[in-house]
Amino acid sequence: MKLSEILSQDAIIPQLRSGTRDGAIQELLEVLLRVDELSPQDGGQILQALIEREANGSTGFGKGVAVPHCQHWAVKKTTLAIGRSSEGLDFNSLDKGPVYSMLLLLSPANDQDRHLQGMELIFRHLQRASFRDGLRQASTREAVLELVAGIEA
Amino acid sequence: MSQGTSADRQELTKQVRIPNSLGLHARPAMQLVDLANRFEASLQIGKGEQLVDAKSIMQVMTLAATQGTKLTLSAIGADASQALSAMTELIAEGFGEE
């Protein structure tokens, strides 16, 4: 599995409009729903699950990144969306710092292996300061795609 | 790893298996990292050839340990033995999951 395989070109928001955690999750989820051709009902359930997940334990893992994630039966394949906030979002992160990059992962409900592989892939790259800094600075969709292509070259 | 003569420089290890059906996903990973950070000892988790720092959530998330995966916990430091016991217990309980 590669980032470029799960990240859709249309699921990148270089400048999130929303300044709140839940607003930003919804904004990013909306583009993923279109990419994955999911119904508004499924979208509503997924949004609720994502927000509940944050309430139970933040996915703001520190160092300016958050990885909201959810498995749902209507999701057919593992897909990733990336959103950037230049002001930073309050995710109640582990290190209490603001979140500048959001990586939202949706996976099918019945494929735990693939879900864990998707998370592994994301964190393998997020561990590297150069990737985190690159994401934070990538102000256009092309810049994000270039960054992702670059790390897998 | 340096081999000191004093007891607290010795590396202790323990093997565990992930029992819960969802595996080591984000929530249990955070529980484990939280627990690890309560100890002074240097703590690592190994899966096959891969070795990660048990106190770093970013690293622990790269284990992608599914149900049944065998992990090796290792600890060096004054409270190494307590740390290993506590971590083993948390994992054996399946992080409170099925």
pLDDT in tens, A1-16: 899 999 989 999 999 9
Please report the pLDDT score of residue A8 as a whole number: 87
Give Cα A42 to chain centroid, integer Å: 18
* CB pairs < 8 Å spanning A and B: 48
The reported pTM is: 0.89
Please report the pLDDT score of residue B7 as a whole number: 62
Is B4 part of a structural domain of the chain? no
Q: What is the mean pLDDT of residues A18-42?
A: 95
Decide if A112 and B24 are in contact by the 8 Å CB cutoff: no
Q: Looking at A14-132, which runs of residues are DSSP E strands? A: 60-62, 65-66, 69-72, 79-89, 99-108
Query: Which residues form the domain of B87?
Result: 14-92
Annotated catalytic residue: which of B9, B25, B46, B59? B25
We report the CATH number of the domain holding residue B83 as 3.30.1340.10
8 Å CB contact between A135 and A151: no
Decide if B61 and A56 are in contact by the 8 Å CB cutoff: no
The answer, for B24 touching chain A at a CB cutoff of 8 Å, is yes
For chain A, what are the domain ranges? 3-151
pLDDT tens per residue, chain B (98 residues)?
444 446 668 899 999 999 999 999 999 999 999 999 999 999 999 999 999 999 999 999 999 999 999 999 999 999 999 999 999 999 999 999 98
Is B81 part of a structural domain of the chain? yes
Counting every residue written for chain A, the total comes to 153
Is B25 a known active-site residue? yes
What's the CATH number of domain A3-151, 1.10.10.10, 3.40.930.10, 3.30.300.250, 1.10.3720.10?
3.40.930.10
Is B47 part of a structural domain of the chain? yes
Is B26 part of a structural domain of the chain? yes
The answer, for B47 touching chain A at a CB cutoff of 8 Å, is no
Rounded to a whole number of angstroms, the distance from the CA of B7 to the nearest CA of chain A is: 33
Decide if A120 and B61 are in contact by the 8 Å CB cutoff: yes
Is B78 part of a structural domain of the chain? yes
Bridge-based pairing state of the strands A60-62 and A65-66: antiparallel
Decide if A59 and B26 are in contact by the 8 Å CB cutoff: yes
Is B63 part of a structural domain of the chain? yes
Is B2 part of a structural domain of the chain? no
8 Å CB contact between A132 and A126: yes
pLDDT in tens, A73-132: 999 999 999 999 999 999 999 999 999 999 999 999 988 999 999 999 999 999 999 999
Is B3 part of a structural domain of the chain? no
Q: Counting runs of H as helices and runs of E as strands, what totals does chain B give?
A: 3, 4
- Specify burial of residue A129 (Cβ count, 10 A radius: 0-12, 13-18, 19+): exposed
What is the C-alpha separation between A3 and B95, in angstroms, rounded? Answer: 29
pLDDT at A37 over 60: yes
Please report the pLDDT score of residue B57 as a whole number: 94
Give whole-number Cα distances, A68 to A8, A30, A58, B52, B69, in Å. Answer: 17, 14, 8, 23, 24
Q: Which residue, among B50, B55, B62, would best test binding to A if mutated, counting the most A CBs under 10 Å from its CB?
A: B62
The tokens describing A52, both together, are 């509940």
pLDDT in tens, A39-83: 999 999 999 999 999 998 899 999 999 999 999 999 999 999 999
Q: Which residue, among A65, A119, A121, A132, would best test binding to B if mutated, counting the most B CBs under 10 Å from its CB?
A: A119
Q: Which residue, among A54, A58, A61, would best test binding to B if mutated, counting the most B CBs under 10 Å from its CB?
A: A61
Please report the pLDDT score of residue B4 as a whole number: 47
